[in-house]
Chain A
């Protein structure tokens, strides 16, 4: 719930008075509010929590952290939305259960 995931800002626009970035999280692209990180520009990496960028980080750190989080199975939990989450909840209550053991019970 409280993990912030690193991603790369690919484009910045203004939507409804908000500074919004297209942010790529290792292949998954989301719209992210950049209002709290005015220093972040296109090409920068930032850590993002529930659609909001919280701070800028350097590229090497971002890529390493992204890989660690992927291995820990938390990327999917942080980035999933919509019906796919219900489908997941139907078979395994915890989306982040990486080895499937929580659906065996």
Chain B
């Protein structure tokens, strides 16, 4: 881990951490929305470089984690059907449904395949006209353009045996839901850099205004994250609440116009349930009228799903930032990456898995007391 050592000892990182400490006069709670950023923060120990006043709260931005259990169960039911080729990204394989996961469905004879690009599943549909090919379209705004183009291509090619099981979710309504929830503690957000590479950040000024919170577009590398935190703290200390771009090498205000055009053609905004959180109004995309025939939920009409979450699992509280993973009684005991009770332990971007993998078995308060005693696994 030469790079990590270089990062921790690095002059720039130390200087940035010192600057953050020197400008911080009060406690601040900052949420990173994106699971990729959570992974990077915990892996690189960025939260431990910050002054004690700054608490990083981990957000719900892991699409694997927030895909509702009912949809996972539907996916499993479709994947188990004969004559179906069920395609997914690899990170959905081990997400627990009520009774099993996709990995086990394959073991039981289901034709489950992991593809690199959703376009690969369209090729599979063209080559297997006697099969129904379904792609599990999970993700935030970063992933949606790929799925939108895939359905667009399937329609253009007149494929009748391709469909998309859609569970797209959106960042701005999630921020609004968190800010509006009783007992919310978050005072600023780091916006997900790659979501903004697609969408730009034109959607966010009204959110910053409405809630009086700084929103900083931030990347994934350790120095990007420190810079995003630094800029959020500067705004918080000055009483400002603006949208700021700390990821200019990738993100523009307007975002990727071609992708946004395709998204608005193929998808329309809909209410979505988030696992562990509940329904958030207008927080997702579904296929628009013109593409509805490619909706796997319409094509397969799966009924009789009775979902049951683990009684021990507190993934919802973790996703809302109400507790740290180690504060859940099942963390590291009944619930481990090998035997996950909830999706936050399955996905490498889930906060519970990140804490487990990097040896964070104590709560935030205990960590603060323990000082720097805990090192990385």
Residues of B close to A71: CB separation below 8 A: 1-4
Residues of B close to A16: CB separation below 8 A: 153, 157
Q: Select which of B39, B156, B221, B338 is within 8 A of A102 by beta carbon.
A: B338
B90 nearest CB neighbor, chain A only: A85
CA of A32 to CA of B39 in the docked complex: distance in angstroms?
A: 26
Determine if B36 is an interface residue (Cβ-Cβ < 8 Å).
Answer: yes
Does A55 contact B94, Cβ atoms closer than 8 Å? no
Residue from B61, B89, B157, B192 having most chain A Cβ neighbours under 10 A: B89
Q: What is the distance, in angstroms, from B89's C-beta to the closest C-beta of chain A?
A: 7
- The interface size of chain A toward B, counting residues with CB under 8 Å, comes to 54
CA of A18 to CA of B149 in the docked complex: distance in angstroms?
A: 10
CA of A65 to CA of B339 in the docked complex: distance in angstroms?
A: 33
For chain B, the bracket of interface size reads 35 or more
Given contacts A54-B259, A102-B337, contact A1 B35 (CB under 8 A): yes
Which residues in window 41-73 of B have CB below 8 A to A?
43, 61-64
Does A89 contact B93, Cβ atoms closer than 8 Å? yes
Name B residues whose Cβ lies closer than 8 Å to a Cβ of A.
1-4, 34-36, 39-40, 43, 61-64, 89-91, 93-94, 103, 106, 113-120, 138-140, 142-143, 145-146, 149, 153, 156-157, 192, 194-195, 197-198, 220-222, 249-250, 256, 258-259, 262, 336-340, 346-349, 353, 356-357, 359, 377
Beyond the given A52-B117, A55-B197, please list 15 additional residue pairs across the A-B interface where CB-CB is below 8 A.
A1-B64, A2-B35, A2-B192, A2-B349, A3-B220, A4-B250, A17-B156, A32-B117, A52-B145, A68-B221, A72-B40, A89-B90, A94-B353, A94-B357, A102-B357
26 residue pairs from A and B, CB less than 8 Å apart: A1-B140, A2-B34, A2-B61, A2-B143, A3-B220, A35-B258, A37-B256, A50-B117, A50-B146, A51-B146, A52-B146, A54-B142, A68-B221, A69-B220, A72-B39, A74-B348, A82-B113, A88-B90, A89-B94, A92-B337, A95-B90, A95-B348, A96-B348, A101-B357, A102-B356, A103-B337
